């Protein structure tokens, strides 16, 4: 029987969230130090711990069948991979930044400048799209230091919190792309591997849905129930349970967390009381 080979970053910022995601999907993975390949005992998958930048090539070659990587890396590698699902973590952007005191006044400023980057392909495409030419200095890490040591006039690198830019006296000027972790897939999987992938995706979606939704309970006077139910966007229809206190009911439903903050005041105005918001572990629609 075939096993799905899942590539995961060996170290780096996606590692912990990737392992966490697999655990939440109940795919047991032993994380022995220095292990490069681990068999899951309860799911037909092997986890390959690889260098981040190598994963797109392994995926294209079919050495790994699926991989958890950043969209930024897929764009840079220019490999033809299927993105099966966005995973909602490691959100960042690829940006051009310049020293705070620079005379930057728009994209044309970049013409002929020296730009340090670990993303030459993406940067080159961006510059070409704007009919610009620049002198690219390709370095594989600590890109933000380049302007300070006189190596470059600007940089093009990942920005997440913006802290690294701030620490190095740089200002973000242009966003080339926005990125998050995704499940990337080789386009030529066998039917058997596709079936395992579908099981994995089913679990991932249940975990992602659970993260963005909350179970909500509230008490409401019966004469306000209609109005309250109207403002509650539920999965199907809220559950109503009568309270021991006559004339009152308990309303249970599931809503998106961000929607909850939009309607909380409306709920209170309509007479809702004792509102509880409870995390959901898994959610299958």
Name the site residues for ligand PRP (rule: CB under 6 A).
12-13, 141, 144, 157-164
d(CA 45, CA 27): 8
Residue 164 vs 250, nearer CB to ligand PRP: 164
Residue 137 vs 205, nearer CB to ligand PRP: 137
CA within 13 Å, CB half, 42: 8
Say how many Å lie between the first and final Cα of the chain, rounded: 30
Which positions ≥6 away from 147 have C-beta within 8 Å?
Answer: 98, 99, 116, 153, 154, 155, 168, 170
User: Using CB atoms within 10 A of its CB, is residue 180 exposed (0-12), middle (13-18) or buried (19+)?
Assistant: middle
Residue 56 vs 238, nearer CB to ligand PRP: 56
Smallest gap from residue 76 Cβ to ligand PRP (A): 12
Smallest gap from residue 11 Cβ to ligand PRP (A): 9
Smallest gap from residue 91 Cβ to ligand PRP (A): 10
Q: Are 146 and 81 in contact (CB under 8 A)?
A: no
Task: Kindly give the interhelix angle for 15-24 and 191-212, rounded to the nearest 10 degrees.
Answer: 100
Residue 53 vs 219, nearer CB to ligand PRP: 53
Residue 88 vs 162, nearer CB to ligand PRP: 162
Residue 27 vs 159, nearer CB to ligand PRP: 159
Smallest gap from residue 160 Cβ to ligand PRP (A): 3
- Beta strand spans in 163-268 (E): 170-179, 181-185, 213-221, 239-242, 248-256
Smallest gap from residue 92 Cβ to ligand PRP (A): 7
d(CA 7, CA 59): 8
Smallest gap from residue 257 Cβ to ligand PRP (A): 24
């Amino acid at each position: 029987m075939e096993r799905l080979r899942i590539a995961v970053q060996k170290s780096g910022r996606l590692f912990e969230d990737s392992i966490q995601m697999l655990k939440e999907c109940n795919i047991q993975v032993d994380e022995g130090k220095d292990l490069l390949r681990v068999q899951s005992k309860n799911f037909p998958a092997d986890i390959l711990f690889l260098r981040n930048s190598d994963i797109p090539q392994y995926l294209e070659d079919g050495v790994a069948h699926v991989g958890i990587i950043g969209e930024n890396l897929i764009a840079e590698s220019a490999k033809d991979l299927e993105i099966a699902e966005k995973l909602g973590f490691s959100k960042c952007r690829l940006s051009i930044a310049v020293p705070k005191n620079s005379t930057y006044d728009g994209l044309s400023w970049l013409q002929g400048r020296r730009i340090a980057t670990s993303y030459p392909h993406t940067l080159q495409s961006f510059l070409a799209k704007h009919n610009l030419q620049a002198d690219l200095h390709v370095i594989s890490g600590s890109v933000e230091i380049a302007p300070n040591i006189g190596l470059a006039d600007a940089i093009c690198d990942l920005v997440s919190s913006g802290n690294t830019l701030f620490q190095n006296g740089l200002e973000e000027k242009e966003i080339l792309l926005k990125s998050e972790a995704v499940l990337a897939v080789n386009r030529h999987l066998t039917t058997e591997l596709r079936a395992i992938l579908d099981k994995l995706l089913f679990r991932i979606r249940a975990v992602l849905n659970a993260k963005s939704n909350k179970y909500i309970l509230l008490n409401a006077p019966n004469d306000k129930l209609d109005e309250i139910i109207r403002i509650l966007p539920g999965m199907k229809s809220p559950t109503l349970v009568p309270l021991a206190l006559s004339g009152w009911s308990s309303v249970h439903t599931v809503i998106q967390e961000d929607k909850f903050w939009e309607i909380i005041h409306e709920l209170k105005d309509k007479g809702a009381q004792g509102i509880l918001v409870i995390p959901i572990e898994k959610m299958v629609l």
